[in-house]
Amino acid sequence: MRTLWLALCALARLWPGALAGCAEAGRCCPGRDPACFTHGWRLDRVYGTCFCDQACILTGDCCFDYSRACPARPCIVGEWSPWSGCADQCKPTARIRRRPVRQEPQNGGAPCPPLEERAGCLEYSTPQGQDCGHAFVPAFITTSAFNKERTRQAASPQWSTDTQDPGYCMEFKTESLTHHCAMENRPLTRWMQYLREGYTVCVDCQPPAMNSVSLRCSGDGLDTDGNQTLHWQAIGNPRCQGTWKKVRRVDQCSCPAVHSFIFI
């Protein structure tokens, strides 16, 4: 290539205008542009019509000075913007961040990387400050037998001994669960074996799982209409999890012991 370049320079001194190329024509075109041509020497040592478009590299009909007159310039991007807020309150949605293009790619330069990123998010309050979105939080459950061992005062100092809120019970119909539940055989997690699809289960909401302000348990699905699929996860084995739908809220649980649980 260097020998060819020196030969062409010598020819230019003997025959002015013979080296007409992209630089002299002032042409550098993206893609394939049949109108982006001039007359001069080509890289294949043929004199005649030569091109200054990006596709000439593939077709082999570039003017001899294409790489110098039309150097490849990569895309250059700026810094990411801060993350936006959630697109909506009270339900799973997305937040977005973007970055600007400082320099567009030219002459076959590296293309721009992604200019937008999205990430899931969920806001738990409305613009007016009202609590919401808890239906989309997984319900963390354990066997109702655990309720006999925990005490309200020890677990949550926010609840005084004078507080006698009766709590409430949520009934759900199980829809799906992972196979990890049936594999549990440890003494304290054996209760997971009794979780089955299609059964109605009772989950008790009592302090300290009950929030002392809202008087609700996280993931209770109380705001749903019964058609929404909710998620639950067993405490003691995070791989034991599944989905259910709300049936109703009742004052007291009345399910069999093996289908009775508590919110944690």
Mean pLDDT lowest among 9-13, 117-121, 143-147, 180-184: 9-13
Q: If pLDDT is split at 50, 70 and 90, which confidence band does 119 have? A: confident
Q: Which of 72, 67, 62 is nearest to 33 (CA)?
A: 62
User: What's the rounded mean pLDDT across residues 79-106?
Assistant: 85
Q: Which residues contact 145 (CB under 8 A, 6 or more apart)?
A: 191, 257
Please report the pLDDT score of residue 205 as a whole number: 92
Higher pLDDT, 162 or 78: 78
pTM check: above 0.85: no
Q: Give per-residue pLDDT as tens, 5-43.
A: 555 555 544 444 556 789 888 889 888 899 999 988 888
91: its two tokens: 């339900």
Residues contacting residue 75 through CB under 8 Å, at least 6 positions apart:
101, 103, 104, 105, 109, 110, 111, 112, 113
pLDDT in tens, 199-251: 999 999 988 888 888 888 888 988 888 888 899 999 888 889 999 999 999 99
**Bridge pairing between strands 230-234 and 139-143:** parallel
Residue 156 has pLDDT above 60, yes or no: no
Query: What is the pLDDT of the chain when averaged over all its residues?
Result: 82
Task: For 33-92, write each residue's pLDDT tens digit.
Answer: 999 999 888 888 888 899 999 888 888 889 999 989 999 889 999 999 998 887 777 766
Residue located via tokens 């699905």: 221
Classify residue 252 by its DSSP letter: S
**Spatial contact of 21 and 40, defined as CB atoms under 8 Å apart:** yes
Q: What is the DSSP string of 165-193?
A: ---EEEEEEEEEE-TTTTT--STTTGGGG
